[in-house]
Chain A
Amino acid sequence: MKLFEFSEVVRYLPELWVGLRFTLLLVFASLAIGTVIGLLVCFGRLLGRGLLVRLCAIYTTIFRGIPEAVLMFWLYYCGPLLGGVRPSSLMAALVAMSLYVGALLSEIFRGGILAVPRGQAEAARSLGVPEFWVWTSVILPQAFRIVIPALIGVAALTVKVSGIASTIGVTELVFQANVIGGQSYRYFELFTAVGVFYFLILFPMSMIAKGYERRLMTRRK
């Protein structure tokens, strides 16, 4: 028996494919929901006042601070005690990841907006440009450029965090590899394959983002 039997990877490809699809679902859904949460919380903090600002700050602190595993377990096992509903493991993982990603993104968005020089909004306002266009034409496009590298970081983190969902039984990549490994003892091949899959998800994402960033830079030279 060879140390690394490539045919074993091929043999279990259908199961891994199931896992990959769940991983992608978790990653893209939580990034999408997290972006919406992040934007709402960010603007709550920047434009709101009083209690709203404090609530948004508390949200960010809590969900950025709690380990994602704890949050997932908590939602999965304590959900029934609180609301009487038992979330599916997928739902618990998705909610936990979205809350986490939302907290990360809200701070990144806020930082990006605050990094746009004050004079930019002042110049637009001094021209009488309505507030909606001050934000959409002047502040946000510049803030977006600033946060691109940080967004790549969050995407990478989300991919990694999705692996934790295996612990509450979501049949994503790590879970599948674990189960098949338990039957076949082909852990080496399987987890190598899982690593490669993760790389294949992340690499194109960061390439696209880097390419976009570079295009923005060179266009101005």
Chain B
Amino acid sequence: MERDQKPAPIVVCTKVCKRYGTFVALRDVNLDVSKGEVVCIVGPSGGGKSTFLRTINGLETIDSGTICFDGITIPGPARNVGLIRREAGMVFQSFNLFPHMTVRKNLILAPVRARGLSHAEANERAERLLKRVGIASQIDKYPDQLSGGQQQRVAIARALAMEPKVMLFDEPTSALDPEMVKEVLEVVRELAASGMTMIIVTHEMGFAREISSRVVFMVEGSIAVDAPPEQFFNAPSEPRLESFLSKVL
């Protein structure tokens, strides 16, 4: 490992385990992510990718192991989960925008309630971020008036409004019509270029190859391969990865 040359890791997952009854969802998952890295997690469905991503911000509890997020550890004091969530933005497969609020209010809620920003500051931030994701004109519409791609871009802006240190993406394009995938990936690409640290669960292999610093292959609840994209896709060292790639590429 060339860990010494990298900047200090911001997310360190150590021996993370999670069970549902007798089913082992995650077994001894170890993953370090450094500042500025973009790590894509790929693998067959049911392999534990989403579950693992959701343990990082405490949406799923873990049975053993530790997760250290920018110095905050879970399991730990009860408030730690809340502290992590403020610094970790998450984007969901199904957008999960608040349907009873306008786009503007969707973006203002968390900065005001979780960061203590004034309404005016949060509003200014909302307008700036919507411009950044290219939908400033939709600010006073309700989510169901927007296309899927627009909704997901709002969801990204909503997460960015907390000015997170890390962004977690849980299959951000899986619920989108094909023609809308591009506009969302474009936003993610722009985020990567700006130096945002990101962990992305995705099925978009081409995108993972293009954008990642590292690609992680998760199968049966553990990480089987963790490699730079060229090595990951060109010289798969693992039979299960080889068979997976032959199916999806």
With known contacts A123-B92, A133-B109, A220-B144, A128–B100 Cβ distance under 8 A: no
Q: How far apart are B160's CB and chain A's nearest CB, in angstroms? A: 11
B215 touches A (CB below 8 Å): no
- A220 and B99 form a contact (CB under 8 A): yes
- Residues of chain B within 8 A of A193, CB atoms compared: none
- Residues of chain B within 8 A of A221, CB atoms compared: 145
- Residues of chain A within 8 A of B115, CB atoms compared: 128
B233 touches A (CB below 8 Å): no
- B100 and A129 form a contact (CB under 8 A): no
Number of residues on chain A facing chain B (CB within 8 A): 21
Query: CB within 8 A of A129: which of B87, B89, B109?
Result: B109
Task: Mark contacts of A126-159 with chain B using CB atoms, 8 A cut-off: 1 yes-contact digit, 0 otherwise.
Answer: 1111100100011001100100000000000000
Q: Which parts of A83-141 form the interface with B (CB within 8 Å)?
A: 117, 119-120, 122-130, 133, 137-138, 141
- B158 and A119 form a contact (CB under 8 A): no
- Residues of chain B within 8 A of A133, CB atoms compared: 109, 113
The docked-state distance in angstroms from the alpha carbon of A126 to that of B155 is 12
Number of residues on chain B facing chain A (CB within 8 A): 29
Q: How far apart are A13's CB and chain B's nearest CB, in angstroms? A: 45
With known contacts A137-B113, A220-B142, A127–B158 Cβ distance under 8 A: yes
Additional pairs, 13, CB under 8 Å, beyond known A128-B87, A129-B113: A119-B96, A120-B98, A124-B110, A125-B85, A126-B57, A126-B85, A127-B114, A127-B158, A128-B110, A130-B82, A133-B113, A220-B99, A220-B100
Residues of A within 8 A of B (CB): 117, 119-120, 122-130, 133, 137-138, 141-142, 145, 219-221
Q: How far apart are A172's CB and chain B's nearest CB, in angstroms? A: 39
- Cβ-closest 4 pairs across A and B: A128-B86, A123-B96, A127-B110, A119-B96
- Residues of chain A within 8 A of B89, CB atoms compared: 126-127
- B82 and A128 form a contact (CB under 8 A): yes
B90 touches A (CB below 8 Å): yes
Q: Is chain A's binding surface mostly helix, strand, loop or mixed? A: helix
The docked-state distance in angstroms from the alpha carbon of A221 to that of B221 is 43
Q: Which parts of B85-133 form the interface with A (CB within 8 Å)?
A: 85-90, 92, 94, 96-100, 109-110, 113-115
The docked-state distance in angstroms from the alpha carbon of A124 to that of B110 is 8
7 A-B pairs within 8 Å (CB atoms) are namely A123-B98, A126-B88, A127-B158, A129-B110, A130-B114, A133-B109, A141-B100
Q: How far apart are A104's CB and chain B's nearest CB, in angstroms? A: 25
B41 touches A (CB below 8 Å): no
- A130 and B98 form a contact (CB under 8 A): no
- Residues of chain B within 8 A of A120, CB atoms compared: 96, 98
- Residues of chain A within 8 A of B59, CB atoms compared: 122, 125-126
A128 closest partner in B (C-beta): B86
Q: Which parts of B212-235 form the interface with A (CB within 8 Å)?
A: none
The docked-state distance in angstroms from the alpha carbon of A117 to that of B97 is 11
- Residues of chain B within 8 A of A137, CB atoms compared: 98, 109, 113
The docked-state distance in angstroms from the alpha carbon of A221 to that of B88 is 33
Query: CB within 8 A of A119: which of B94, B109, B110, B145?
Result: B94
- Residues of chain B within 8 A of A119, CB atoms compared: 92, 94, 96
Q: Which parts of B134-193 form the interface with A (CB within 8 Å)?
A: 142, 144-145, 155, 158-159, 162
- Residues of chain A within 8 A of B100, CB atoms compared: 141-142, 145, 220
- A122 and B92 form a contact (CB under 8 A): yes
- Residues of chain B within 8 A of A142, CB atoms compared: 98-100
Q: How far apart are A114's CB and chain B's nearest CB, in angstroms? A: 17
Query: CB within 8 A of B109: which of A117, A127, A145, A219?
Result: A127
- Residues of chain A within 8 A of B113, CB atoms compared: 129-130, 133, 137
- Residues of chain A within 8 A of B96, CB atoms compared: 117, 119-120, 122-123
- Residues of chain A within 8 A of B87, CB atoms compared: 128
- A127 and B144 form a contact (CB under 8 A): no
With known contacts A123-B98, A142-B100, A128–B162 Cβ distance under 8 A: yes
Task: Mark contacts of B73-87 with chain A using CB atoms, 8 A cut-off: 1 yes-contact digit, 0 otherwise.
Answer: 000000000110111
The docked-state distance in angstroms from the alpha carbon of A219 to that of B145 is 11
The docked-state distance in angstroms from the alpha carbon of A128 to that of B89 is 9
The docked-state distance in angstroms from the alpha carbon of A123 to that of B90 is 8
Q: How far apart are B188's CB and chain A's nearest CB, in angstroms? A: 17
